[in-house]
Structure 1
Amino acid sequence: MSAPNSSYDPVEVTPLNAEEVERVRDEALAAIVAADTLDALKQVRIDHAGDRSPLALANREIGALPPQARKDAGQRVGQARGAINQALAAKTAEVEAAEEERALVTEAVDVTLPWDIEPVGARHPITTLSEHIADIFVAMGWEIAEGPEVEAEWLNFDALNLGPDHPARTMQDTFWVTPERAAMVLRTHTSPVQARTMLTREPPIYIACPGRVFRTDELDATHSPVFHQVEGLAIDEGLSMGHLKGTLDHFAQAIYGDGMTTRFRPSYFPFTEPSAEMDLLCYVCHNEPDAVADCRTCKGEGWVEWGGCGVVNPRVLVACGVDPERYSGFAFGIGIDRTITSRYDIADLRDLFDGDIRFTQPFGVEL
């Protein structure tokens, strides 16, 4: 191994030459002064103070010098590098302060501007009422059941005692899915969900079935080919019309407030026997003598029609595999859309489906 060259003259090594060190230092200081952004300073730091900068490379040459030359070369390079680092630190602080001040001006927020430029969203009243109804029945210990909107003809009609000649099967009331031999329809009510439940579960059964249904009605102020309803079904031992009346009274009070009640009028439905139309005590005049005569909501009747109900027909129980000798039950159905239009005095049913945010905004996010 060769020993250090004692006659080595550091002046002859260009990177360690005093004039060269001063030149590199002055070049770096000039670049620092010229830099006016943090990105520019970052590049200056890489070029003049980084591991591959001229002074960093010169510093590596010091170890090859003879002992008597190392001290002077080290001081020259160290002082130059120190001056550059100090200048970089001072310039960085200056540029950061300038950019922060610039940001305070250019990115300032005018707190006097309107804050509600973007309109606040609102949930659709059909959605909120459907969920509210579900909460009511869940609180009573019932379950919420759902089913497909494209339904088998047998479940939509036959299982519910709607015979082959029933007028509801015709094209006047039902959307049939092609091909006709598939025997599939867009469900005309949510009652098929009740049939599906009875076919797959053993009583006792207590379910509410909210959902969208379809009938071939013309779209006008009071009708729609697509609408929403909720049906309830209870199957257990010893159920009667009295249990039905109590359930509907509680349901009405949960929707319209304390003191609300229902009444029954005899009617006919193939899937219930006996059957009834249920009316709701007018929620405007409450059938009070001084107000009922001039009430526009109930038109002087004191009651408002709400839906249909009755005791489940034994034929329906048999078709769905339930023993009618042991079990009885009741069922009811109301229109969710009609409940909204009557409760909030909405004159045109089409307002529910037009998608105009000005209609839904007053309802906010809760019912």
Structure 2
Amino acid sequence: MISLSSALLASTMAVPSLLPGFFSEWKSVQSTAFEAAKEPQKPIDANKLFDEKALEKANQRLKIRDLTSAITREFFLKNFRKGEGLLAELKALNPTNGIDLYFQSILEFEKGNFATSIFMLEECLKKNNELDPAWNMLGYLYSRSGDQERALKAFEKAIAFEPYHPVYRYNHARALWLTGSFSAALDETKRVLDLRDNMPEAYFLAGLILEDMKREKEALPYYRLAEERGLSEDDFYVHYFRLGLKLDSSADLLRLLEKTRQSKNPDLIRMQATIRMNAGEFQRALEFNLQLLSNGHYVEEDLARTGELLCRTGTGMSGLQGTKLNDAAISRIRVGFEKCEGTRRKGPDVRDPVLQPAL
């Protein structure tokens, strides 16, 4: 007869692979039961893990950063009142990097307090010499006041901290041009266009520099590019018009005549009158000339031209009614009118075989 112990031993030996799994599971059950019986740990206070003062400073830095971004956005959108409210919050945090003074200087500028704005920027840069937008704005204020030498140095500082900013380099190029460093200004302008090729003011500036370097034919393509990119300021059109006339560029003049037809700028009105008179558009030229007389923006040559146009259109001196000119101006116009009347040959009109075929 086989004993019970022998049977158990035999069965154990028959399934040796089951034992390790059994004991492993039993150990896991014991461990789980032990952990469940333990008291739950209390949550650790975050303030005990980190230094409270360090956390407070970090939080303050985040608030300053967020407010800086928000104020910049509002100023960019010209929402100065809203930006001023945010600036009050920023000042309450006592930033040490001078950014509050920089923003305040912008508000002062918008109020017309240019001297205050300059002083604030100078104070700002004493706190933070590496604040590049403050250097650029300081240069801008120096430049508009006529101090190009100081402006040049301020723009150089801005570029030193942000060398790939096209506006900083544009301002630097402009200051170089205004101080007579034409070659350096042209090189800097080309760097601007490498950084941002859609900046119309930079093309205009390049054209002006080339004109001053007596390279007018090279300047004209830059004016075309400036116009193609949307530049439409009167000062730009005046320079473009004058160069087009000087170089006798018919294609440019044709486009400019249409572009500036509604302009109220006296120089552009004068160019319209001159070109149309030279082309035989006497009535249109007279209309432009009378605009100059009506708004009081006339010069000596406008009076003489008006007299000739009154003659050529057959309008006569009666065409001056409503202009409210003084006696001296009317007298000068009359001289131009009588000179034209005395030299103009009468006789048959000129003909064109297609436009006016002879009968």
Give 1 or 2: higher strand fraction: 1
Superposition TM-score tier, normalisation by shorter sequence? under 0.3
Larger radius of gyration: 1
Higher helix proportion, which one?
2
The TM-score, its normalising length taken from structure 1, stands at: 0.24
Give the structure-2-normalised TM-score.
0.24
Greater RCO, CA 8 A, separation 6+: 1
